[in-house]
Amino acid sequence: MTQAADLYQDIILHHSRSPRHFGTLDAYTHHIKADNPLCGDSYELFLQIGDDDIIRNASFEGAGCAISKASTSLMLDAVIGKSVAEAEALFVRFLCLVKEPGSPESQDESMGKLAAFSGVWKYPSRVKCAILSWHAMHDILQATHQKNTQ
Amino acid sequence: MNIALPLKTDFPALQQKIKGHDLVWLDSASTTLKPKSVITAVHQYYTHCSANVHRSVHTPSEEATAAYERSREMARKFLNARSTTEIIFTAGTTDGINLLATSLSRGILKPGNAILITQLEHHANIVPWQMLRDYHGVNLRIAPITATGDIDLDAFRAAMTPDVKLVAFSALSNAIGTVLPVQQMVRIAHEAGALTLIDAAQAVATMPVDVQALGCDFLVCSGHKMFGPTGIGLLYGRETLLDELPPARTGGDMIKSVTFEKTVFNDLPAKFEAGTPNIAGAIGLAAAIDFLLNIPFEAITRHEEALLQYAIMKLQEIPAVRRIGTPQKQVSIVSFVMENVHPHDAGSLFDDDGIAVRAGHHCAQPLMQHFNVPATIRWSFSLYNDMHDVNRALESIERILKVFS
Question: Distance between CA atoms of B19 and B353, rounded to whole angstroms?
Answer: 7
Residue B305 has pLDDT above 90, yes or no: yes
Whether domain B39-293 has CATH 3.40.640.10: yes
Q: Does ipTM exceed 0.85?
A: yes
Is the distance from CB of B28 to CB of B227 less than 8 angstroms? no
Give residues with Cβ within 8 angstroms of A98, minimum separation 6.
Answer: A117, A118, A120, A121, A127, A130, A131
Question: Average pLDDT of B193-209?
Answer: 97
Residue A45: enclosing H or E segment and its boundaries?
A: strand A41-49
Q: Which residues of B touch A123 (CB under 8 A)?
A: 348
pLDDT at A20: 97
Interface of A with B in 88-107 (CB under 8 A): none
Determine the CATH number of domain A2-149.
3.90.1010.10
Which of 3.30.1330.10, 3.90.1640.10, 3.90.1150.10, 3.40.710.10 is the CATH number of B8-30+296-403? 3.90.1150.10
Chain A residues lying within 8 Å of B375, measured CB to CB: 39-40
The confidence band for B322, taking pLDDT boundaries of 50, 70 and 90, is very high
Concerning whether B363 is annotated as a catalytic residue, the answer is: yes
Q: Chain B 324-353, CB below 8 Å of chain A: which residues?
A: 340-345, 348-349, 352
Provide the residue type at B245 as one letter.
L
The whole-number average pLDDT for the span A2-8 is 70
Query: Within an 8 Å CB–CB cutoff, is residue A129 touching chain B?
Result: yes
Per-residue pLDDT of B4-17, as tens digits, reads 677 889 999 999 99
Mean of pLDDT values over B244-272:
94
pTM, to two decimals: 0.93
Asked if the model's pLDDT at residue B3 lies above 60, the reply is no
DSSP character at residue B259: -
Q: What is the pLDDT of residue A22?
A: 97
Sequence ranges of chain B with CATH classification 3.40.640.10? 39-293
Q: Which of A95-99, A143-147, B243-247 has the lowest mean pLDDT?
A: A143-147
pLDDT of A25-63, one tens digit each? 999 999 999 998 777 789 999 999 999 999 999 999 999
Ranges in chain B annotated CATH 3.90.1150.10: 8-30+296-403
Percent of chain B beyond pLDDT 90?
92
Position A7 scores a pLDDT of: 87
Q: pLDDT at residue B2 above 60?
A: no
Residue B75: pLDDT over 80: yes
pLDDT of residue B361: 86
Helices (H), A1-150: 2-7, 10-17, 66-79, 84-99, 124-149
pLDDT tens-place string over residues B136-158 = 999 999 999 999 999 999 999 99
